[in-house]
Chains A and B, each alone.
Chain A
Amino acid sequence: MTAQTIIQKIFAAHTAPGASVQPGDIIWLDLDVRSARDFAGPNVVKNYRRHYGDTPVADRDKTVFTFDLVVPPSNIPYANNQQICRMFAREHGLKVYDVNAGIGSHVAIEEGLAYPGSTFVGTDSHLNILGAVGAFGQGMGDQDIAFAFKTGRTWFEVPPTMKVVVRGTLTPPCTARDLTLAVLAKLGARGALGRAIEFYGPAIEALDLAGRITLSSQVTEMGGIIGFIPPSEAVLAYARQRTGRPDLQAVYADPDAEYIETVEVDIDGLEPLVACPPNPANVHPVRELAGKRIDSVFLGSCTNGRFEDFEAVAQVVKGKKIAPHVMATVVPATRQVYEQMLRSGTLETLFDAGFIISNPGCGGCASGHLGMTGEKQVQLSTSNRNFPGKQGAGDTYLVSPVTAAWSALAGEIALPEVES
C-alpha cells in the first residue's frame, strides 16, 4: 500500500475495504455522526420528509441536532424552525443539543462525538474545525445532510493534501489567532481551495486545544476542505477521556506521504495582526491601524470562544474598565466554557470591566441575533468572517482576543502590550 496522508487514512477506514483513496477519487464515505443546526436544520427536515417520508433514519444514535445560531430564537420564524427540528427529533428519537448547549462543533469535541480519526458532517461550514482534534469534519448543504441522515454516508471527492509548516516560536503578545492570520495572509482566500491541509512545526505542536481550534476554524476562509493538526499527547488524552475510550488512537500521516504543495510560514518576529474589511484574508499589522476609534467589540465565536481565550482577556482587563463608548460583548462557545468562566472568576472579572456577557452560542456571527453592527459602526471581532453584511451593516475587523481586550480598554485599535 502506498503512503497516505491523514485524510486518506481516515477515508480508507470509512469506505469499502480496498477502495482507492487517491486524490480525485470519488468514494462513499461512512459518517460516524451526522448533524444539523438551527440554520438549514428545518431544510434538512423538509428534504427528509419529502424524499423519505416517515421512514427511520439510518442510525438514531449517530444523528443529532445542535442549535447554536439564534439561541434562544429572536423572532418567530427562527423559533418555528427550531421547533420543526425538535418535532422531527422526537419523532425519530434523536438527541437535540438545544439552545442552551452552545456551538455545535465545540459541543461535538467536548462530548466526544468527534475524536481523532472520526468523521462528522453537519450544516455548519466551519465543521472542519474538527481537524483540531484530528477528525474529519465537514459542513454541507441541507440536501447532503438529509441524505446522510437516511443513508449514513455521503459521496466525497478525495482532495489532495498540502502541508503548511510553521517555523519559529509564538511569543506574547501574539496568540494562536495571530499565527492563524499569518497563515491566512500567506495562503489568501483561495490558497487551499479544494484541498486538505496538514499543519506541522514546533509552534503548531505547542498549541493547546483552544489554539488548535482557532487555527482549524479559519481553514474555510483559506478555501480549504479541512486543516488537520496532528493530535498532541494532550489532545489525544482529552479525546480518550471525552469518548471514554482509553485505547483510542490518533491518525497520523505516513512519513513519505505525498503532498501537492508545501508552504512555509515563518512566525519569528510576528507582530499582532488584524484582518480588515472586506474579507478575512485582508491581513495587516495591528500597528498600521492603531488609534482607529472603535464602537464595539465581539469576543467569542467558534474561532475564539474557548475558556482560554476569555482568560487571556481577563488577564488584560482585570481591575480596569473598558472605554465607556465601547459596546463589548462576550459570548462563550459552550455551556461548559460558560461554567468554567463562572467558577473560575473570569466571568466576574469581565463583568466588572464592563463587558456584556451572553449565553453560549454563535453570538454576533448570526446577523440578526446578538450585537449586530449599524452603518458606519467599527467593530473588532474575534470571529472568523468580516464579509460585508456578515455581522451587520458596519465594518468588522478580525483580531485576537488579546488585541480586542487592549483595544476595548483604549476605545480604539490598540497594540497589545506584554505585561511583566
Chain B
Amino acid sequence: MTTTMEGRPTRITGRIWVLTDPNGRLYDDIDTDMIFHNRYLHITDVDQMGQYALDNLQGWEDFAARAQPGDIIVAGRNFGAGSSRQQAVDCFRALGIAAIVAESFGAIYKRNAINSGLPIVTLPGLSAQADQFQSGDTLTVDFENGKVVLNGEQTFDALPFSQVQMDIYQAGNLFAYGKSLR
C-alpha cells in the first residue's frame, strides 16, 4: 500500500460491488434518494446512516448488511445525481467504503465526497466496459496516477485526484484542510 508522508493511502485494494440493475446493466443516474432516502433526512449522526445506504435502489436494498469495510463501489454515469444531502456520502463513510469508482458523478455529490475525504474516482468509458467488472472481483485504485487494476490483471485509466481533492483527502476533510491554510 502506497502512502504519502501525511499517511492516508493513495493506493487501495478492495472487493467491489458493481451496481447493476435487475437486467444486469450498470445503473446510471443513481440519485441521492436511491442512495439515502429523504425519509431518513432527520438523521444527523453519521454512525446511524450506514444502515440505510442504497436501500431505495432496486436490487440493493440489503447493501448495508452485505458491505464490508474496505469494499469499493463501481457505478455508471452521474452517480449521486439530485439533492445536496451530505448523508448520501456519509452513509458510505459509515460503512467504511474505501472508494467509489464511476464513469461520472453528480456535481454536488462530487464536492460532498471530496469534502468528506471519501475517495471518488472518475473512470471515463467505464460503462462501455462494465461487463468486465463482477461483484466480488478485486480492484486496486491509485489516486495519484489514476491507474485502476482489476483482479491484478486488467488495467484501466481513471482520472487522478485533482490537487484540491488530494489536499483535502490528505488533510482528512474540508475543515482540517481549511485550518491547514491558515
User: Real complex partners, A and B?
Assistant: yes
Chain B residues whose C-beta falls within 8 Å of the C-beta of A194 in the assembled complex: 104, 107
Of A39, A47, A157, A159, the residue contacting B85 (CB under 8 A) is A39
Of A144, A220, A390, the residue contacting B174 (CB under 8 A) is A144
Given known contacts A78-B42, A223-B107, is B33 in contact with A390 (CB within 8 Å)?
yes
CB-nearest residue of chain B to A51: B175
CB contacts under 8 Å to A, within B96-142, are 104, 106-108, 111-112, 115-116
Contact B82 A385 (CB under 8 A): yes
Q: Is A248 an interface residue (CB 8 A)?
A: no
CB contacts under 8 Å to B, within A307-360, are none
Interface range on chain A (Cβ under 8 Å from partner): 35 or more
CB contacts under 8 Å to B, within A361-387, are 366-368, 385, 387
How far apart are the CA atoms of A150 and B178 in the complex, in Å?
10
CB-defined interface of B58-95 with A at 8 Å, one 1/0 digit per residue? 10000000000000000001100111111101000000
Q: Is A140 an interface residue (CB 8 A)?
A: yes
Given known contacts A141-B112, A144-B111, A151-B178, is B85 in contact with A189 (CB within 8 Å)?
no
Chain B residues whose C-beta falls within 8 Å of the C-beta of A223 in the assembled complex: 78, 81, 106-107
Given known contacts A124-B84, A190-B104, is B41 in contact with A39 (CB within 8 Å)?
yes
Q: How far is the CB of B113 from chain A (nearest CB, A)?
A: 9
Q: How far is the CB of A198 from chain B (nearest CB, A)?
A: 17
Contact A139 B78 (CB under 8 A): no
Contact A388 B33 (CB under 8 A): yes
Given known contacts A43-B86, A125-B83, is B175 in contact with A279 (CB within 8 Å)?
no
Interface range on chain B (Cβ under 8 Å from partner): 35 or more
17 sample A-B contacts, Cβ–Cβ < 8 Å, listed by A number: A39-B85, A40-B84, A125-B83, A139-B84, A140-B112, A141-B112, A150-B178, A159-B107, A189-B78, A193-B104, A194-B104, A194-B107, A367-B39, A385-B82, A388-B34, A388-B58, A389-B37
Q: Is B170 an interface residue (CB 8 A)?
A: no
Q: Which of B83, B162, B174 has the most CB of A within 10 A?
A: B83
Q: Is B173 an interface residue (CB 8 A)?
A: yes
How far apart are the CA atoms of A329 and B156 in the complex, in Å?
51
Contact B116 A387 (CB under 8 A): no
Contact A387 B86 (CB under 8 A): no
Contact A193 B178 (CB under 8 A): no
Q: Is A65 an interface residue (CB 8 A)?
A: no
How far apart are the CA atoms of A3 and B177 in the complex, in Å?
33
Contact B84 A123 (CB under 8 A): yes
